Chains A and B, each alone.
Chain A
Amino acid sequence: MSTLGLAGVHVSLGGAPVLRDVSLAFAAGSVTAVVGPNGAGKTTLLSCLAGLRAPGRGAASLDGEPVLTIPSRRRARRIGYLEQSPEIAWAVDVRTLTGLGRTPYLGALGPTAEDCAAVEAAMAQAAVQDFADRSVASLSGGERGRVLIARALAGDPAWLLADEPLAGLDPGHQLDAAALFRRLAVEGRGVVVTLHDLTLAARMADRVVVLSAGAVAADGPPRQALTPEVLARVYGVEARLSEGAAGLLVEISGRLG
C-alpha cells in the first residue's frame, strides 16, 4: 500500500517559520482532513507533500522515495494536487481544462484514445459532463470547483492533495464532493484535504490533523482530534461537540478571552 509522509519538515517563508518540525505519515485508502486557523501552514504542508516546495529541513517521501527526487512527470502521475482557487488564464472549455490533468501522460503525438477516455470518466465522476463544452469563463464558482476536481482526477493519481476543495460549493455539492473523496479512498487512493468547516471535516474524514502555528496540535480520528480543549487552544473559541443525525456536530458557541 502506498504511503506519503513528511519527516521533520521545517519551512520558513521570509524568515518566519511556517512549518516547525512536522512529521506525518499517510496511508492510502483513507481520507485525511487537515484543519487549523488561517496561517497555520495547511497550504505549505500540502505543497511540501506534493513536491512543489523544498522544505528548509526534513523531507517529504512517497513510498520511501524523497518526493523531490522523483522525476516531475512520474511524480505528477502519482500525486494530484489541487490548488486553492487557482487562476484559469484562458476561457477554454470544460473538456479542455479537464484534459490538462493528462499532461503528465501526453507523448509527442498528443492525446491518445486512453487519454480521452480518462477525461470523459473524470468528468462523469465529478458530475460536470453536462457542461463539458461550455467555456470555464461562464461557470459559477461551484461548477468551477467541480471542474477542477475533474481535472485532478483525469490524471488518475494514487494521491489526491486538495487545498480547500469544498470552498464555494453549496451544501449539496459539498456532500457530493465528500462522497467522491470517500469513493476514491475506497478505490485505494490516498486523499488529503484542507478544510475550514470542522463539522464537514469530522463527517468526511477518517483522520483529522489539527495544525497550529506550523506544528501538529492534534492528530487522530475526528472524535479524538476535535475536542473542546484542542479547539479552545488552537482557535481560541468555545466549542460544543455533540452527536448529530449524520455524525459529529461541531458547534462554535463563542470566542474565548
Chain B
Amino acid sequence: MTRPLPRLLLIAGLVAAMLLLVGLSLMAGRVRVPFSAWTDTADPRWAIIFALRLPRTLLGLAVGAALGMSGAAMQGYTRNPLADPGVLGVSAMAAFGAVMTLYLGAGASQNWVTAGGAMAGALAGVAMLMALSGRASSTLTFILAGVVLNTVAAAGVSLALSLAPSPWAVSLIVNWLMGSLADRSVEDLRLAAPLIALGCGLLLLTARALDALTLGETGARSLGVNLAATRWLLAVGLALTAGASVAVTGVIGFVGLVTPHMLRPFVGARPGALLIPSAVGGAALVLAADIAVRMTPSAGEVKLGVAMAALGGPFFLVLLLSMRRRMA
C-alpha cells in the first residue's frame, strides 16, 4: 500500500536541498566572509555568520517548515488544493491578534505577548473557519469562510492602524505586517521554534485521519476515525505553527499553498504522507526566497512577504485556471 523507499528518497532529496540552502543562506549577504573566518572565533566576521546570519537562517527553516506543514494539513483536512493558512485567513487572524498587542503597546516590549496574541488570533481563525464552513464542508464554503476571515482581519488591522497612538506605532505595525526574516534575534528563534515544533508534532498526529478523509467525512468516520479529536489537533496545531511563525516574521503567504501542491505527485497524493515533505520543502522554499531578497540589488531589502506574494499570486492564478479546466 505504500512504497516506502521512494518516499524516503524524496525526503532525503528535500533535506539535501534544504541543507545546501542553509549553507548558501549563511554565505549570502553584503559582506563576503571567507571560509577561514568561519572557524576563527577571534575574527570579527565570525560574528556575522553565527550571531547575525545563523538565527535568521534557523528562523527561516522553522517558519518555512511551519508554513509548509500547516498548508499540507489544511489542504488534507479541507480536501481542497487551494487551502493554506494565508488563503483561508488563519494567518490574517494571527496578524490581527499580534497587531492588537502592538497597538495596545504591550507587544513592543515583550515578544511573547505578540506571540500569544498571534496564536490566539490563529486559534480564533481556525475555530471560526470550522464553524463557518459547517458540516457540509465543500471547497466553496471553505474559500468563502476564508474570504470572511481575511476581510474581518483586514478591517481589524486597518482600525488599529487608523487609531494608532503614534506614527511610530503605525510604522512598527506596517513594517512587521509585510513579513520578513531580517534583523530577527536569537530570542525570536527561542520563542518560535519550540512552539512550531510542538505544533508540527500535533499536525503529524492527524496524518492517519487526513488519509482517511480522502473518502470524505462519513467515509473517515466509518473507518473509525475520531473527527472531533482530529479537529482539535488540527486547530491547536495550526494555531501554534501559523501563530508562532506570524508572531516572529509577520505574514509570509503562499508557502503553504505552493509547497504541498508541488510535492503532492511525489507522494502519490496521500495527504498524510505529504506532511513531512511539505515541512522540509517549505523550509527550503523560504530559505531560497530569503536568499533571493538579500541578493536583490536595491537600496533597502525587499520584504520576504512581498516577494512571496509576488511569486505566489501568479501561481495561485495558474492553479485556479487548471482547476477550472478540470471541473469544466
Q: Are A90 and B219 in contact (CB-based, < 8 A)?
A: no
Please, what's the 1-or-0 string for A41-80, where 1 marks a CB less than 8 Å from any CB in chain B? 0000001001010000000000000000000111111011
A102: chain B residues at CB < 8 Å are 1
- For chain A residues 111-165, which have a beta carbon within 8 Å of chain B? 111, 115-116, 119, 135, 151, 155
A82 to B14, CA, bound (A): 38
Chain B residues, Cβ within 8 Å of A95: 1
Q: With A50-B222, A75-B224, A76-B222 in contact, is A92–B268 under 8 Å at CB?
A: yes
Q: Interface of A with B (CB < 8 Å)?
A: 47, 50, 52, 72-77, 79-81, 83, 86-93, 95-104, 106, 110-111, 115-116, 119, 135, 151, 155
Q: How far is the CA of A135 from the CA of B271 in the complex (A)?
A: 15
Q: Which 9 A-B pairs have the closest CB atoms?
A: A76-B224, A99-B1, A89-B79, A81-B222, A104-B224, A73-B224, A90-B269, A103-B223, A72-B224
What 0/1 readout, one digit per residue, does chain B (212-247) give for beta carbons within 8 Å of chain A? 111110110111111000000000000000000000
Residue of B nearest to A73 (CB): B224
Chain A residues near B270 (CB-CB < 8 A)? 90, 92, 96
Chain A residues positioned under 8 Å from B269 (CB to CB): 90-92, 96, 135
When A50-B222, A83-B218, A104-B223 are in contact, do A96 and B213 touch as well, CB less than 8 Å? Answer: no
Q: Is the CB of A87 within 8 A of B208?
A: no
Counting contact residues on chain B (CB < 8 A from A), the size range is 20 to 34
B2 contacts the other chain (Cβ, under 8 Å)?
A: yes
| Complex Cα–Cα for A165 and B69 (A) | 36
Chain A residues with CB under 8 Å of B212's CB are 100, 103
Residues from chain A with Cβ under 8 Å of B211 in the complex: 100, 103
Which of A52, A92, A103, A155 meets B208, CB within 8 Å? A103
Interchain CA distance A133-B223 in the complex, whole Å? 23
Distance in Å from the Cβ of B157 to the closest Cβ of chain A? 33
Contacts of B264 in A (CB 8 A): 90
* A103-B216 contact in complex given A91-B269, A111-B1, C-beta closer than 8 Å: no
Interfacial residues, chain B to chain A (CB-CB below 8 A):
1-2, 79, 208, 211-216, 218-219, 221-226, 264, 268-271
Docked Cα-Cα span, A55 to B84, in Å, equals 37
Contact A88 B1 (CB under 8 A): no
A97 touching B219 by the CB < 8 A rule? Answer: no
Give the chain B neighbours of A98 by CB distance below 8 A. Answer: 1
Given A83-B218, A87-B79, A88-B214, A93 and B223 touching (CB < 8 A)? no
**Across-interface contacts of B213 in A (CB, < 8 A):** 89
Contact B225 A72 (CB under 8 A): yes
Which residue of the partner chain B has the closest CB to A81? Answer: B222
Query: Are B222 and A52 closer than 8 Å at their CB atoms?
Result: yes
Q: Shortest Cβ distance from A123 into chain B, in angstroms?
A: 10
Given contacts A87-B79, A90-B79, A111-B2, are A106 and B208 in contact (CB under 8 A)? yes
In the bound assembly, the distance between CA atoms of A52 and B264 in angstroms comes to: 31
**CB-defined contacts of A89 to chain B, threshold 8 Å:** 79, 213-216, 271
15 contacting pairs across A/B (C-beta < 8 A): A72-B224, A72-B226, A86-B218, A86-B219, A87-B79, A89-B216, A90-B269, A96-B2, A96-B269, A99-B1, A101-B223, A103-B211, A103-B224, A104-B223, A151-B215
For A163, give the chain B residue with the smallest CB separation: B218
A211 to B268, CA, bound (A): 42
Q: Which residue of A lies closest to B212 (CB)?
A: A103
The reply to whether A96 and B222 form a contact with Cβ atoms under 8 Å apart is no
Closest residue of chain A to B215, judged by CB? A86
Taking the closest CB of chain A, its distance from the CB of B254, in whole angstroms, is 21
Contact of B268 among A96, A103, A116 (CB under 8 A): A96
